[in-house]
Structure 1
């Protein structure tokens, strides 16, 4: 998944840096995905207060923190059955 050049943006920042510092510097930057967009600040805000030692660490946190709208069909897997206690949509055959 690509996040609209945020990797390059974060690479230009001095580390270590806190999530608050990154939000202050780049929080209004929009991350666009297939079902809309969200701000970098909103994504980092969900992860809580963290200190990043590198741009790569901050970028990986962004990738893990984007909303479900950015990752395709929810609950879709063509390989795995639902886990015990998990309720997903009914299987659909294409």
Structure 2
């Protein structure tokens, strides 16, 4: 995820601030994601109204609320165990 200037926008906010205030002032700001873009307003709208005391709290909320466009390969994991009836990878001794 690329913040595209969102970090500077977050740093310039006056704290404390709320989710609703950020959406009203900067909701149209776009984040560049792995597979598209999403507006800050869309991202923060997924959260309950919250009061932030620091820029880092806002950054963590934005990162935690981005949608599936931020994921490279959805539903993929190379850490899942081998399913029943399938043979797993050949063990390699180093």
TM-score of the two chains, using structure 1 as the length reference: 0.79
1:80/1:13 Cα in 2 relative to 1: closer, same or farther (>3 Å)?
same
Instruction: State how many pairs are aligned.
Output: 83
Match of 1:89 in 2: none
SS in 2 for 1:44: helix
Match of 1:53 in 2: 53
SS in 1 for 2:14: coil
Q: Give the superposed CA RMSD.
A: 1.8
Deviation at 1:73, TM superposition (A): 0.9
Q: Work out whether 1:13 is the aligned partner of 2:9.
A: no
Deviation at 1:81, TM superposition (A): 3.5
Deviation track 1:34-85 (CA, whole Å, cap 9, x = no partner) reads 2211110010000121111111100110000100111211121111339xxx
Unmatched tracts of structure 1, length 5 or more: 83-92
Match of 1:80 in 2: 80
SS in 2 for 1:23: helix
Runs of 4+ in 1 over 6 A off after TM superposition: none
TM-score of the two chains, using structure 2 as the length reference: 0.79
SS in 2 for 1:14: coil
Match of 1:43 in 2: 43
